[in-house]
Structure 1
C-alpha cells in the first residue's frame, strides 16, 4: 500500500486550488474552516506552504515550464507548483516527490499523470534550485502592478515586490512595557513602539499571549490608533472594528470605546480578544452608514482593496482583479462623510486604509476637504516616535509602504490622516 501524502501538503494544494481556481481569499477559506480538521502544527504548515507558493508563483511556473510540455489541469499544476517551491527551497526530495506523486494518483483527473509528475520533479530536484536562484523577484499581476507603477514609480514597486517575496515577520502591540516584552520574547522594539518577532512559531504558545499582555498587529496597522491618541474617558468609535487590534489599543488607553462592524461573525474575534486581554469595549453589529451617536474621536479603518497587505496576504493579487475598486472608493467617501456627522464639535477623526492606491488615501482626503468647509488636516498629530517626516504627504496624511524599513523587515502599506472638525 502506498504511503498517504501529508495532510499539510494535501490541504495546501486545496488552498491553492481555491485561490487560483475560484478566486477565493485565504482569510475567507480559513474563517470557513478549511483547515479546522488538521492538528495545529499541520494547520500552520499547510498555510505556510500555500503562502510560499503564492509568493513564488512566477518563479515556480518558469521552472516548471522548462520541463512540462503540455499544461496539466490546475489541480495537478498546483501539486507541481507546491513541490517545485519546496524542492527549490531545500526540501527533502524523497518526501516531496513521493507526496506529489501520491496526491496526483489520488485525484481522478490526474491519475494518468503521476508518471509525468514523478519524472518532472526528479529533474527539478536536480536542477531546480540553481534555476530558481537565477530568476527575478516575482512581479505582481499586471492589473495591480500598472496602477502602482503609475503612483509610485517602477523602482519603488520592485522594492515592494521584494518585500512581498520576503514575507512578513510577526508584529505585536503590547499593553505596557514594550521594551521588556521585546527582550522576553527575543524580539526587536520597532521605532514606532511595536515589537517585531522574527521567529514567532506558534503565537498562542508564547509567553504573555494567554495572559492578554499583547496581541498580534502589524506595526503599520498600529499607527492609526496611536495618531488618534484616545484619552481616558473619551467616547471613541472604532467604526469598522474587526478584527479588533485598534479597539484593544484605544481600550487600553482608558477610552470608552464602541467597536462597530457590519459582521457579527467577525466581531466574535473582537469579543475573544477583549476577553483574553481583560479590556472592555461596547461591541455593536451594524451598518456604519446607519450608525448614530456622538463621539469625541472616531477611527475609520474603511473597507478597501487591502493592497497594502500583500506581503502577508500574497493570495490577494491572484484572487482579485480590481473590478470592485470603484465601489470601494464610493463606499469610503460615504463612510467618511457619515463619520464626520457623528463627531462632537472640535472632535477628531482618523481615516485610514490598508491600501497602496492613492484613490483610497490621498485622493479621499483631498476630496473630503473640498466637500466639508472647516475640516482641517492635523499635521502636528503625525509628530510621533518613529514616524519619518518623508512619509508625510502633501495634503498632510501619512503614506506607508511595504518597502519602508527594508533593514527591519518592512511594514504593511497604509494611508492615514488625522482630521479635525471646526
Structure 2
C-alpha cells in the first residue's frame, strides 16, 4: 500500500515507478467526474477546483474534454466494463471511473492504449490496479468498440420519449456524440468576413474546434459566440427603434447584445457579479451599450415600465446537453419541479413591469415540458390581460413552426444535418391595451 505524506495524499514508494507524464491531467478528469456524478455539480463550475494543480491551459482543456467525453458515453462505457468483469463494480467505485477515463481515451479520443493505461493506473494508489489493467487489456484484445450513436441515460430517455416521442430521443442520441459546431451572432447589417452556413440574418455557423480569440473580427468586436437556438428569444422581440427593453437573468450577455444591436435601450439584470463582469467585457469588446444592474429580480424594481421584456429564466439546461453533457447525469425531477416554480414566480413579477401593448418573451433552454409549456399555460390562465402571439410568417426560418397553442418548441433534430441546435422553449406574450 502507498504511504501517505503529512497532508494525507498517497506518496510513491521508492520501488514504484514515477507516474507517467499526463497523469495529473487524468487526475483532474477523475475529480471532475466525481464532482458531477457524486456531488451533482455542473462540469464547468467544478473545473477550477478539479484542475487547480494544472498550470497549462491545454492541460485544463484536456481534462475537461476527457470528462465530458465520458459523460457523453457513460451508459455504453459501463456496459463495456460490466461485460469484462465477473461481478459488477459499484457505480461509484474509483476503479470504474478510472476505467471509463482510460477506455474513452483509447476508443474515442485516439490516445494510444499504452498511454491511456499508463496514465490511469497511478490514480489507483493502493487500489485494484491489476483488475483495472486486466479489464482494459481484455476489452482491447477483443477489439471492443463503443456504438456510433451513444445511449442516453435511461431516466432521461424515458422522460423525453414520454414527452416528445422516440424520434426525438434518437435525434438527441445522435447529437450528443460530439460537441456542437461554433455559432456566431452579429448585427445583420455588419456581417464578418468569414465563410460558413447561415440560418438567418445575423447568424453564421463554423466548424467546431477553432480558437475563437484568434478568429477574424473577434478582437474588433464584430461578433460574439451564441448558439442559433439561443438567439431566437431575442429575435422574436423584433427591432428596437429606441424602445426600452429589460433583459432579465441576462448574463453572460448574448441576448443583451442582440437587443442592443437591434436598437433597444437595454437594461440587463442578473444576480451574478462574476457573470455580469463577463457581460460588461463583451459589451466593451463589441462597442454595444446597455445599463448593467446586479440584482435578484424577485427583489428588484425597475424605475419605469418597459416596452419589451426578455426573461430567459434559470432552468435545468437539459436542452443544451450537446455542449454540457453533465446535465443528463445530475439533473433530477425534483430539481426540475423547483426550477419551474422559480420560473413561474419570475414571470409573474416581470409581467407587472410591462407597458400595455408591450411584449414579454419567456424562454428556457430545457427539454422538460414542466419548465416550458406548463409554466406558460399557468401564466396565461392567471393573467387575462396577456395573450400569446405566435411568430409570424417570415420572422424566423421556416423550420421553426409554432405549436397549436402558439408556443415555439425547438427539439433535437432541428438543423441536424448542419450540426443541430440547442433545444429551447419560447413563448411570446403581448399585454392587451386598456
> TM-score, structure 1 length as denominator?
0.90
Tell me if structure 1 keeps the 8 A contact 2:150–2:176: no
**In the alignment, which residue of structure 2 is the partner of 1:67?**
84
Tell me if structure 2 keeps the 8 A contact 1:191–1:385: yes
**SS of the residue aligned with 1:188?**
coil
Deviation (angstroms), 1:407: 0.3
Taking a change above 3 Å as real, the CA distance of residues 18 and 380 of structure 1, as seen in their structure-2 partners, is closer
**In the alignment, which residue of structure 1 is the partner of 2:425?**
415
Deviation (angstroms), 1:228: 1.1
Match of 1:35 among 39, 51, 67: 51
**SS of the residue aligned with 2:311?**
strand
Deviation (angstroms), 1:193: 4.3
**In the alignment, which residue of structure 1 is the partner of 2:105?**
86
**In the alignment, which residue of structure 1 is the partner of 2:218?**
209
- The 10-residue stretch of structure 1 (151-160 or 118-127) with the greater mean CA deviation from structure 2: 118-127
**SS of the residue aligned with 2:111?**
coil
**SS of the residue aligned with 2:323?**
coil
Residues 193-204 of structure 1 correspond to what in structure 2 (within 5 A)? 193-204=202-213
Tell me if structure 2 keeps the 8 A contact 1:397–1:415: yes
| 1:24 corresponds to 2:34 | no
Match of 1:115 among 110, 130, 150: 130
In structure 1, what is the Cα distance between the partners aligned to 2:402 and 2:361?
15
For each residue in 1:33-60, what CA deviation from the matched residue of structure 2 results, as whole angstroms up to 9, or x when unmatched?
5435432222222211111110011111
Deviation (angstroms), 1:290: 2.5
Tell me if structure 1 keeps the 8 A contact 2:75–2:153: no
**SS of the residue aligned with 1:160?**
helix
**SS of the residue aligned with 2:61?**
helix
User: Runs of at least 4 residues of structure 1 off by over 3 A?
Assistant: 32-38, 175-182, 380-383
Taking a change above 3 Å as real, the CA distance of residues 419 and 372 of structure 1, as seen in their structure-2 partners, is same
Tell me if structure 2 keeps the 8 A contact 1:377–1:419: yes
Taking a change above 3 Å as real, the CA distance of residues 270 and 78 of structure 1, as seen in their structure-2 partners, is same
- The 10-residue stretch of structure 1 (375-384 or 308-317) with the greater mean CA deviation from structure 2: 375-384
Deviation (angstroms), 1:5: 4.0
Which structure has greater helix proportion? 1
Taking a change above 3 Å as real, the CA distance of residues 3 and 33 of structure 1, as seen in their structure-2 partners, is closer
**SS of the residue aligned with 1:132?**
coil
**In the alignment, which residue of structure 1 is the partner of 2:5?**
none
Taking a change above 3 Å as real, the CA distance of residues 8 and 230 of structure 1, as seen in their structure-2 partners, is farther
- The 10-residue stretch of structure 1 (33-42 or 157-166) with the greater mean CA deviation from structure 2: 33-42
Tell me if structure 2 keeps the 8 A contact 1:299–1:350: yes
Tell me if structure 1 keeps the 8 A contact 2:233–2:310: yes
Tell me if structure 2 keeps the 8 A contact 1:381–1:418: no
**In the alignment, which residue of structure 2 is the partner of 1:341?**
352
In structure 1, what is the Cα distance between the partners aligned to 2:364 and 2:41?
21
Match of 2:279 among 250, 259, 270: 270
| 1:222 corresponds to 2:231 | yes
Tell me if structure 1 keeps the 8 A contact 2:218–2:224: yes
**In the alignment, which residue of structure 1 is the partner of 2:260?**
251
In structure 1, what is the Cα distance between the partners aligned to 2:150 and 2:138?
23
- The 10-residue stretch of structure 1 (194-203 or 290-299) with the greater mean CA deviation from structure 2: 194-203
In structure 2, what is the Cα distance between the partners aligned to 1:3 and 1:296?
62
**In the alignment, which residue of structure 1 is the partner of 2:151?**
138
**In the alignment, which residue of structure 1 is the partner of 2:140?**
125
Tell me if structure 2 keeps the 8 A contact 1:87–1:124: no
Deviation (angstroms), 1:9: 2.2
In structure 2, what is the Cα distance between the partners aligned to 1:268 and 1:196?
26
In structure 1, what is the Cα distance between the partners aligned to 2:38 and 2:315?
23
Taking a change above 3 Å as real, the CA distance of residues 152 and 180 of structure 1, as seen in their structure-2 partners, is same
Deviation (angstroms), 1:211: 2.2
Tell me if structure 2 keeps the 8 A contact 1:267–1:283: yes
- The 10-residue stretch of structure 1 (147-156 or 118-127) with the greater mean CA deviation from structure 2: 118-127
**In the alignment, which residue of structure 2 is the partner of 1:167?**
179
In structure 2, what is the Cα distance between the partners aligned to 1:337 and 1:199?
39
**In the alignment, which residue of structure 2 is the partner of 1:327?**
338
Q: How many residues end up aligned between the 2 structures?
A: 409
Deviation (angstroms), 1:112: 3.7
- The 10-residue stretch of structure 1 (217-226 or 81-90) with the greater mean CA deviation from structure 2: 81-90
Deviation (angstroms), 1:136: 6.0
**SS of the residue aligned with 1:359?**
coil
Tell me if structure 1 keeps the 8 A contact 2:168–2:411: no
**In the alignment, which residue of structure 2 is the partner of 1:95?**
115
